[in-house]
Structure 1
Amino acid sequence: MGAGGPDDEDNRWPPWLKPLLRERFFVQCKLHADSHKSECNMYCLDCMNGALCSLCLAYHKDHRAIQIRRSSYHDVIRVSEIQKVLDISGVQTYVINSARVVFLNERPQPRPGKGVTNTCEVCERSLLDSFRFCSLGCKIAGTSKRKKQQMASDSEDSYSSSSSHARYMKNKINNENKVQSFSPSTPPPTPASYRTAKRRKGIPHRAPMGGLIIEY
């Protein structure tokens, strides 16, 4: 698929990222409901088959599995785990329980605090100045929106250019038509002008030295 095609946006991100962000974690595992370790806080990046509990990992040996954690009822993931498989630049990190983490999804803030100079480009949550997004989900939404705006801007520029060219050509044709309509044309000959031209041809010429030639 060429650049700008419908699959272009999805190819920017790993196939597991969007399913991961949509998944519900910290629910009871249906397969291991009788176990005290049945809370689903794991995710297999290779299988992408939903939230897993620690017992489910026995079926995902040698797979890439990551652990989801909780902070104030929001899902987070340790930076040390996610940065191995995903570019998280621009996403603000937080230190929770002595570990640096990033949030999976947006956490809208009713109103930014006083003196805040930088907010998330998507949900407007207060951020440190060096970051653009508060979560992985906001990064996807923000970069996708920016790309669409850029494509729309490029399309408008192209349309504006073609419209200007069309207006220029239209004005040029109109001006040429005006010049042709106001240019004087050679009038057709009239009987009077025809007689005048004929009379001029009959003017006699004098002989050299001003004399008359008389023949005997």
Structure 2
Amino acid sequence: MEQIPEVKEKMCALAPAWLQTMLETKFFAPCEDHLNIPRNECNMFCADCSENSSAFCIYCRGKNHENHHVIQIRRSSYHEVVRVSEVEELIDIKGVHTYVINSAKVFFLNERPQPKGIGAAAGKAAASPFFCEVCSRSLLYDFRFCSIGCKLTRIKSNGDAMFVLGEHERNRVEGENAGRLTNVSKGGDGSSAPKEARLPLPSLRPRHRNRKGIPRRAPFF
């Protein structure tokens, strides 16, 4: 059913048009244009292209999406995730549960199946006081949604959340990114002290020990 213009205009004010397309896209299929090349899975999505944009591989990115906002989709436990750093300048993910995987903060794209039955996992989930407002999935911390898909569903139902970055959030993200660039230019740790004044890191190489000499017998008396 096609949305009426007033509802569609309100949705665009709360969430970007490409977000729904990304959530409905099937990823990790082999790229038809690069079937004979390794690492040809379609795990990229372009936020700058039209709403009809589809998944593409890393080789298509360099050819058709140079200087675009490209988002790489990754997998965790067979479910699609996205790194926060790749979308924090595009959408406001406030209220979405985030996790740290491989030292990077990520979030899930869509709702995941929940464990059924009574057992240790179900008992642990029941002990948590936090739940997703849309699918009632148990959460580890005080967040409103388990995925950005659930947040978008909530926006469609009553509009009490939004993905569009406000001026304050946009300034915060730009300031954090500028701080990261400053840290990198200063050596990665944010310190402005000269390199000569920094203490050297302890070596992780094992100490070399001299081999024992040739054993000699004691003389007989």
TM-score scaled by length of structure 2: 0.61
- Following superposition, which runs of at least 4 residues in structure 1 exceed 4 angstroms of deviation? none
Aligned match of 1:137: 149
Cα root mean square deviation, aligned: 1.8
Name the aligned partner's letter for residue 52 of structure 1. Answer: F
Q: Does 1:126 align with 2:131?
A: no
Aligned match of 2:31: 29
1 or 2 for the larger relative contact order (CA 8 Å, sep ≥6)? 2
Name the aligned partner's letter for residue 138 of structure 1. Answer: C
Q: Is the alpha carbon distance of 1:147 and 1:84 closer, same or farther for their aligned partners in structure 2, counting shifts above 3 Å?
A: closer
| 3-state SS of paired residue (1:55) | helix
Name the aligned partner's letter for residue 5 of structure 1. Answer: E
Shift of residue 123, structure 1, vs aligned partner? 1.1
Aligned match of 1:54: 58
| 3-state SS of paired residue (2:6) | coil
Aligned match of 1:70: 75
Structure 1 residues 32-53: Cα deviation after superposition (integer angstroms, max 9, x where no partner): 1111121111111112421010
Task: State the identity as a percent.
Answer: 48
- Mapped to 1, the partners of 2:87 and 2:42 lie a distance apart of 18
> Over alpha carbons, which structure has the higher Rg?
1
C-alpha contact 2:14 2:155 (8 A) present in aligned 1: no
Name the aligned partner's letter for residue 54 of structure 2. Answer: G
| 3-state SS of paired residue (1:57) | helix
- Mapped to 2, the partners of 1:40 and 1:108 lie a distance apart of 23
- Mapped to 2, the partners of 1:36 and 1:137 lie a distance apart of 31
Shift of residue 145, structure 1, vs aligned partner? 1.8
- Mapped to 2, the partners of 1:56 and 1:40 lie a distance apart of 9
| 3-state SS of paired residue (2:153) | helix
| 3-state SS of paired residue (1:6) | helix
C-alpha contact 1:108 1:123 (8 A) present in aligned 2: no
How many matched pairs? 145
Aligned match of 1:88: 93
TM-score scaled by length of structure 1: 0.63
- Mapped to 2, the partners of 1:83 and 1:130 lie a distance apart of 20
- Mapped to 2, the partners of 1:91 and 1:66 lie a distance apart of 18
Structure 1 residues 149-193: Cα deviation after superposition (integer angstroms, max 9, x where no partner): xxxxxxxxxxxxxxxxxxxxxxxxxxxxxxxxxxxxxxxxxxxxx
C-alpha contact 2:130 2:140 (8 A) present in aligned 1: yes
- Mapped to 2, the partners of 1:71 and 1:103 lie a distance apart of 9
Which blocks of at least 5 consecutive residues in structure 1 are unaligned?
Answer: 149-216
The 5-angstrom pairing of residues 115-194 of structure 1 reads: 115-147=127-159
